[in-house]
């Protein structure tokens, strides 16, 4: 989501001020930092990052420094109190106002803060999307109304708000015309989608999926992130009906223990989660399932942690994410006494990570000698003689092939599994038609 937001910041300033992106801070007229506050570590990085820009501003006082994203949303003017050389503080829902904020900062030479939640206005104010390769993110909803006790998102991004269905389909059609073949539908909680259909009716997420699949040229659909509490049967059914939906599902569980799930206010039990995963396995045999885990939620006992380990064995997860619990200011869990020592949390995290890595590697190994369909993204950065792409279960694959295959689907035979990627040999018959 943050990557998507950063791209939009670039797009609005390009449209309004003809600005070009540079990765060299010393060359920039405007320096923007997009921030994340999901865990404390990310938040701490903010001040060290902008501290480095201070020297640039000392040399060239006309340079404008802006801090956006969820840390900005949470801290507001406090950022400028600690770092007075920051000109603009803006939130995830006001990034489309950057052109105005920039003009104001330049004209008034005052410090500006705009971290309001003006709802859907943002999407209407963004310039038309531009495809960069065959894959694209498309935001379908924003914010979250679940209020899990550990999570800061509802306070920084606001409550759930869905984009109208027609706007999303129009955006995806434009991207498809520019060669996009795979879309990743983005939102904090995509399956809570309730989009206006233009006739007073609201479309559920499963309905949106059908519309997206019907767009010419779109052959792969992913979504990030969904929540188990609203992962209803119609979404599971969609996987039976829509071949464009990839054989992969990322569904964050956080914990395998009912007591912890209740304390987190997740709105589902261990068995309800397992039920979804089992249904997905029945509908899509061989599906790759992945998740997020929080280790060391306040009060988590050894037994409760063991339940998470057991859940992992029961489901069999592919590449997943795990984090040590981080108390976020203003969230209910931050008030609970945190009696699990850092040492224990680290031990638990290592144990979990080791097991998750083993499972991921076993899946990679099992793919050797199988044929996989790959969306070719372009020339490999590491080896210019090779092309790179991704499988349905989102593994990077490198193989020797004609550069003209970029943007196309090809079949490859997997020859080797490495820790972070796969090697493969192209199946010539799958490319003959494309290269004719």
Residues in contact with ligand SAH by CB under 6 A are: 38-39, 148, 150-151, 188-189, 225, 227, 252, 254, 292, 294, 323, 325-326, 328
**At closest approach, how far in Å is the CB of 94 from ligand SAH?**
21
**Alpha-carbon distances, residue 229 vs 256, 277, 364 (angstroms):** 14, 13, 30
Identity of the residue, 80 or 226, whose beta carbon is nearer to ligand SAH in the bound complex:
226
DSSP 8-state secondary structure symbol assigned to residue 228: G
- Nearer Cβ to ligand SAH, position 333 or 422? 333
- From the CB of 146, what's the least distance to ligand SAH, in Å? 6
* Least separation in angstroms between CB 123 and ligand SAH: 20
Cβ at position 322, least distance to ligand SAH in Å: 8
As a whole number of angstroms, the distance between CA 338 and CA 285 comes to 41
Q: Contact 119/184 with Cβ under 8 angstroms?
A: no
Residue 296 or 407 having the CB closest to ligand SAH: 296
Task: Please state at what angle helix 2-17 crosses helix 98-108, rounded to 10 degrees.
Answer: 60
Are 391 and 422 in contact by the 8 Å Cβ rule? The answer is yes
DSSP line for 253-270: -B-S-HHHHHHHT-S--H
Minimum distance between the CB of residue 248 and ligand SAH, rounded to whole angstroms?
16
Q: How far is the CB of 176 from ligand SAH (least distance, A)?
A: 27
Q: Cβ 233 to ligand SAH, closest distance in Å?
A: 19
Torsion of CA 31, 45, 253, 223, to 10 degrees: 10
The minimum distance between CB 431 and ligand SAH, in angstroms, equals: 38
Q: Which is nearer to ligand SAH, 254 or 372 (CB)?
A: 254
Q: Residue 7: what are its φ and ψ, rounded to 5°?
A: -60, -40
Secondary structure (DSSP) of 73-129: HHHTTHHHHH-TT--EEE-TTSGGGHHHHHHHHHHH---EEE----TTHHHHHSPPP
Tell which residue, 206, 220, 215, has the closest CA to residue 137: 220
> What is the nearest approach in angstroms of ligand SAH to the Cβ of residue 187?
8
Nearer to ligand SAH, 293 or 399 (CB): 293
DSSP line for 277-333? HHHHHHHSTT-EEE-EEEE--TT--HHHHHHHHHHHHHH---S-EEEE----TTSGG
φ, ψ dihedrals at 118, nearest 5°: -80, 25
Which of 44/128 has CB closer to ligand SAH?
Answer: 44
Q: Which is nearer to ligand SAH, 38 or 185 (CB)?
A: 38
- Judge whether 413 and 371 are in contact, CB under 8 Å: yes
Give the residue with the Cβ less far from ligand SAH, 121 or 338: 338
| Cα end-to-end distance, the chain, whole Å | 38
Residue placing its CB nearer to ligand SAH in the complex, 127 or 330: 330
3-state helix, strand, coil in the chain (%, to 5): 45, 20, 35
Considering the complex, what minimum distance in angstroms separates the CB of residue 267 from ligand SAH?
10
Q: The tokens of 225 are what?
A: 């992130």
Residue 396, classed as helix, strand or coil, is strand
Q: Which is nearer to ligand SAH, 148 or 208 (CB)?
A: 148
């Amino acid at each position: 989501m943050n990557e998507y937001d950063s791209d939009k910041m670039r797009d609005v300033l390009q449209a309004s001020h003809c600005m070009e992106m540079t990765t060299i801070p010393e060359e920039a007229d405007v320096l923007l930092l997009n921030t994340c506050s999901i865990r404390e570590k990310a938040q701490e990085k903010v001040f060290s990052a902008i501290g480095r820009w201070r020297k640039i501003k000392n040399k060239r006082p006309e340079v404008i420094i802006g801090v956006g994203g969820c840390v900005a949303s949470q801290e507001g003017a406090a950022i400028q109190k600690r770092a007075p050389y920051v000109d603009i503080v803006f939130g995830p829902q006001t990034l489309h106002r950057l052109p105005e904020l920039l003009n104001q900062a330049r004209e008034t030479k005052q410090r500006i803060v705009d971290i309001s939640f003006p709802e859907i206005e943002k999407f209407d104010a963004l310039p038309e999307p531009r495809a960069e390769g065959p894959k694209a993110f498309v935001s379908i909803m924003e914010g979250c109304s679940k209020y899990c006790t550990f999570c800061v998102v509802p306070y920084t991004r606001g409550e759930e708000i869905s984009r109208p269905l027609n706007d999303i389909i129009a955006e995806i059609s434009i991207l498809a015309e520019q060669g996009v073949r795979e879309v990743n539908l983005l939102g904090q909680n995509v399956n809570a989608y309730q989009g206006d259909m233009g006739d007073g009716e609201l479309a559920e997420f499963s309905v949106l999926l059908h519309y997206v699949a019907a767009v010419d040229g779109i052959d792969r659909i992913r979504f990030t992130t969904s929540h188990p509490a609203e992962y209803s049967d119609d979404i599971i059914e969609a996987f039976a009906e829509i071949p464009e939906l990839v054989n992969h599902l990322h569904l964050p569980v956080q914990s395998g223990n009912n007591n912890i799930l209740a304390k987190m206010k997740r709105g589902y039990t261990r068995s309800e989660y397992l039920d979804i995963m089992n249904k997905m396995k029945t509908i899509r045999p061989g599906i790759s399932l992945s998740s997020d885990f929080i280790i060391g939620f306040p009060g988590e006992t050894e037994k409760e942690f063991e339940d998470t380990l057991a859940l992992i064995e029961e489901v069999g997860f592919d590449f997943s994410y795990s984090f040590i619990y981080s108390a976020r200011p203003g969230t209910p869990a931050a008030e609970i006494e945190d009696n699990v020592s850092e040492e224990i949390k680290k031990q638990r995290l290592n144990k979990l990570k080791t097991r998750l890595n083993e499972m991921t590697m076993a899946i990679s190994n099992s793919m050797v000698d199988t044929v996989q369909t790959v969306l070719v993204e372009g020339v490999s950065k590491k080896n210019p003689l090779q092309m790179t792409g991704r499988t349905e279960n989102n593994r990077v694959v490198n193989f020797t092939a004609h550069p003209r295959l970029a943007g196309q689907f090809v079949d490859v035979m997997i020859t080797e599994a490495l820790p972070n990627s796969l090697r493969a040999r192209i199946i010539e018959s799958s490319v003959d038609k494309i290269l004719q």
